[in-house]
Structure 1
Amino acid sequence: MRRFSAVADPAAPLPAPETGRAHQRPRGPGQPGGRRDLLSRVNAVAVLLVLADGAVLSAVCLHRGLGWGWSAAVAAAVLTIRGSSRLYRRRLWLSWLQDLPRSAASTALAFALVCALGLVSGTPAAELAAAQWVLIAFALVIEPVRWCVFAFGRWCRRRFDRCDRTIIVGAGEVGVNLARTMLEHPEFGLRPVAFADSGPDPDRHSPVLEVVDGDLADAIVRLRAGTVVLAFSHTRDSPLVDAAITAHRLGCSTLVVPRMYELHPDGPGVERLRSYPLMHLGTAPTSRPTWWIKRAADLVLAAVALVVLAPVIGLCALAVLVESGRPIFFRQVRVGMDDRTFVLYKIRSVRQTGEDDSQVRWSVVGDARVGPVGRFLRRTSLDELPQLWNVLRGDMCVVGPRPERPGFVREFSAIHELYWARHRVPTGLTGLAQVHGLRGDTSIADRSRYDNYYIANWSLWLDLRILLMTAGELCCRRNR
């Protein structure tokens, strides 16, 4: 039976080592960072909902003659709370009734917040009453406007085919029914373009779609797919997890048909395609707006740390020079995001013994080539300080999975499940695995699980936690 492959052969050779900046692979039209990927994330219905809320707020504020200060406070409270309540999210089911309880609750919460702000600040009763009436008028006017926005969105999807190109992984009964439902109901915003499986059941009257019998990543780029739906496959061992990570890595919206979907309730993160619930997997961390905050913070931290720690780096370099001579700094090819190679910089902690076998030899505790200075540098992690330059160059982040050498990446990817998936974000100086004691000669499988957990649950707060735990590790030398 035919099978599709979600990823490239892990034993295949990696890109040739580079001596400069990380190699830049050409981006396909559906790959992360491409112009199409950015535009596909701008959802027209979500934009219209924001504009509708802003227009109604402006109109009622002007009608009630509310001052600029209170108008700004009311607008900030309403838009922030409604945004955090996910009223401006991308969605398949454009149902005003389904969204009505959430909309009403968010407006009520904004009303309570404005009232509390007015009481705390000692606002005159007349001004506070005007702000309250603005919110009441907004609540009465906005719902008919939202009904019109949803109706307009459904009409545009049907009339102009404003639908996301979709690959369905799994061509069994569920996958075939999903494809048929998408074609019959374009108002849900999905247009199937291919199955990725061994092929639809010939006994069923399935839609005529292309059957992907090869690399899923290539199919996503070639077909310009923006959404991947993971349904049940013909083959029991179909690598749905690999497919989910591949779609996630390429910036696609990923929807999963849950097991026992007939009994699955609606809830946060659950979309609805007619009678089918679809669980929405989070987008890739690198595609979120907060990733730009992470990158800006990395640049500031790395630049400040290099300036402040320059004397420390100088002293370490002098100690290495006295102990074992030149070279002081050690350069090594490592694998970063999307399997791109880059040159990593460290202070040399191993004595030179002729031929450089660092690309294929695993460092272990008690290595005879490591002298007293090298052991001190490794124990205190001072040998890692030059990697701050890699952070400034964009090769690495401060927090992320630790980079590994190409030969070991090939070996570990062939042995350990989903080791390859840790390369869908940039590598880092420190990571979740390292602060849990997985440094040096420790379990690769455990490191892989921690790294993939980090990517699936990434947030700025998680990065801050890892930095605090790293500081605790360096100061107290114990796992927390």
Structure 2
Amino acid sequence: MTSPSSTSPSGIPAVDQGTETEERRPAATRPATRSDVEAVLGALPLQRLGHRPDAQRAAAKRPLLERFSGVTVLLIVVDLVAATAAALIGGPTWKWGLAIGVAMLGARATAQLYRRRLWLSYYHDLPRELASTAGAFGLLAVLALLRTADHEMNTAISWTVVLFLLISAPLRMAVFQVGRWARRRFGRCERTIVLGSGPLGIDLVHSMNDHPEFGLLPVGFLDKAPPMPGTTLPLPVLRGDLQDAIVQQRASAVVIAFSHATDAQVIDAAITAHSQGATILLVPRMWELYHDAPHIERLRGYPLVRVTSAPTARFSWWVKRGLDCVLSGLALLLLAPVLGIAALAVLIESGRPVLFRQERVGLDSRIFTLLKFRSMRPATEAEAQTTWNIAGDPRIGPVGRFLRRSSIDELPQLWNVLRGDMSLVGPRPERPGFVRQFSEVHDRYWARHRVPAGLTGLAQVNGLRGDTSIADRSRYDNYYIANWSLWLDLKIILLTFREIFRSGQH
């Protein structure tokens, strides 16, 4: 058993992530400080332990509705109209007409022709549009050769693709024209905060004000550093931190144009904007060398990198949540005999309670009660605060040792997943007091709470369990959030089964 003076791999007093004790929530929940960020932006807040204020939670949800761009919706509608008209004129069967429509719209979606954008230019998208049409036509041609030898039908399919392109082109041009007009005439623009009040930030604000057709309405600067002597700012410098500024100004976009910030400060600012659901546009270093790409916006010659939206803001995240409910519910039903046998074995070996409950930190730093099968007799409060790893503890009997080695002790957390406290895949949750300590020591440990905690995670399938580096875990967890996809979740689940199988062989 580790003594109270022992230390963990993080270099702070050692604590056990899995020690079975009911821990009281600390009276004070002081967030970790990041003075380097405060030097530029003021206090960019950590996600504090406990629930966000209602106003902040509402602001975090509000921009999700604004992500449905009117231009994007119109582009999809006109392409549907073009596909329908082309099929009626071209004369293929209804099945081939449907296949052509699906192929053309799917190719355009893959080419990101329905993306949100600042620069509404048909000619800017024309090369990508032609390439996607050619790809879809090639796919249809191969299917036609495999499915039918009817020359007239093959001709009808070819003409339908050509007609789709000819009909959609003027309609798309009209949509871009209407979009630019609506932005200028009705101010259909995103309220935007500019981080950095140097010459670059000032020039960007002038460009936004002079050219509202790009869809950005600047509402203020945020920069702790004072403006250069003799400089007149076209907008006020907002008070407070970035999170408060987004809420108070009802901003849905943040342009990062730092003149004095380090890369670490830029990352922290982007994470804070993400947590509020805001669009992030970043002026890259050496911006003069950047060429056009789907994720590069243009504002009067300035390239703005559109940072991918937070995972929880995407439609696929709702798919993830639905899969969490379905799979956890099925697992609880199918594994009910295993859960019952495990509960009975724990009861026989060490008595009641069968489950232990412990406060952990989840999405948006909210506290929830995590469930596990007890694998040893309850520890004291003092021991829970000082013991990092209970492997080899003499109080762990044969049943507890088997439950831990096979990870069966974690199965009650399927109920946490079904309730919405956790997800099947995500960063493993930690206790509130330890979250504070780790956040003070490790860069961006606090950022793990942008998504729900998980039953398994990328760090765990890469061997980071038990007495392992907190810094490495944090790095893997933030990588997971930045690169999240449904495929990555499936990959982690498959790797989890592999790890369980390997551990069961030892």
Q: TM-score, length-normalised on structure 1? A: 0.92
Q: Percent identity?
A: 55
Residues 64-83 of structure 1: pairs in structure 2 closer than 5 A: 64-83=90-109
1:26 aligns to 2:26 (yes or no): no
The aligned amino acid for 2:54 is P
- Structure 2 match to 1:186: 212
1:162 aligns to 2:168 (yes or no): no
1:421 aligns to 2:458 (yes or no): no
- SS of the residue corresponding to residue 156 of structure 1 reads helix
Q: d(CA) in 1 for partners of 2:55 and 2:427?
A: 23
Residues 245-284 of structure 1: pairs in structure 2 closer than 5 A: 245-284=271-310
Q: d(CA) in 2 for partners of 1:85 and 1:238?
A: 32
Q: CA deviation at 1:161?
A: 0.9
- Structure 1 match to 2:356: 330
Say if 1:431 and 1:451, in contact at 8 Å, map to a contact too. yes
Of 109, 125, 133, 1:107 maps to 133
Residues 131-280 of structure 1: pairs in structure 2 closer than 5 A: 131-198=157-224, 201-203=227-229, 205-234=231-260, 239-280=265-306
- Change in Cα spacing, 1:72 to 1:113, as seen in structure 2 (3 Å) is same
Higher relative contact order (CA 8 A, sep 6+): 2
Structure 1 unaligned blocks of 5 or more: 16-22
- SS of the residue corresponding to residue 100 of structure 1 reads helix
Q: d(CA) in 1 for partners of 2:446 and 2:388?
A: 19
The aligned amino acid for 1:159 is R
Q: d(CA) in 2 for partners of 1:238 and 1:203?
A: 27
Q: d(CA) in 1 for partners of 2:326 and 2:262?
A: 49
- Structure 2 match to 1:20: none
Q: d(CA) in 1 for partners of 2:389 and 2:111?
A: 49
- Change in Cα spacing, 1:284 to 1:6, as seen in structure 2 (3 Å) is farther
Say if 1:183 and 1:192, in contact at 8 Å, map to a contact too. yes
- Structure 2 match to 1:4: 41
- SS of the residue corresponding to residue 76 of structure 2 reads helix
1:380 aligns to 2:380 (yes or no): no
Q: d(CA) in 2 for partners of 1:171 and 1:444?
A: 36
Q: Greater shift after overlay, 71-80 or 347-356?
A: 347-356
Of 61, 66, 69, 1:40 maps to 66
Q: Deviations over 1:65-94 (max 9, x none)?
A: 443222211111111111111011100111
Q: CA deviation at 1:375?
A: 2.1
Structure 2 unaligned blocks of 5 or more: 1-37
The aligned amino acid for 1:324 is S
Say if 1:299 and 1:391, in contact at 8 Å, map to a contact too. yes
Say if 1:176 and 1:206, in contact at 8 Å, map to a contact too. no
- Structure 1 match to 2:502: 476
Say if 2:193 and 2:221, in contact at 8 Å, map to a contact too. yes
Q: Greater shift after overlay, 41-50 or 263-272?
A: 263-272
- SS of the residue corresponding to residue 472 of structure 1 reads helix
The aligned amino acid for 1:127 is M
Q: CA deviation at 1:46?
A: 1.0
1:120 aligns to 2:146 (yes or no): yes
Q: d(CA) in 2 for partners of 1:282 and 1:320?
A: 46
Aligned-residue RMSD, C-alpha:
2.2
- SS of the residue corresponding to residue 477 of structure 1 reads helix
- Change in Cα spacing, 1:358 to 1:393, as seen in structure 2 (3 Å) is farther
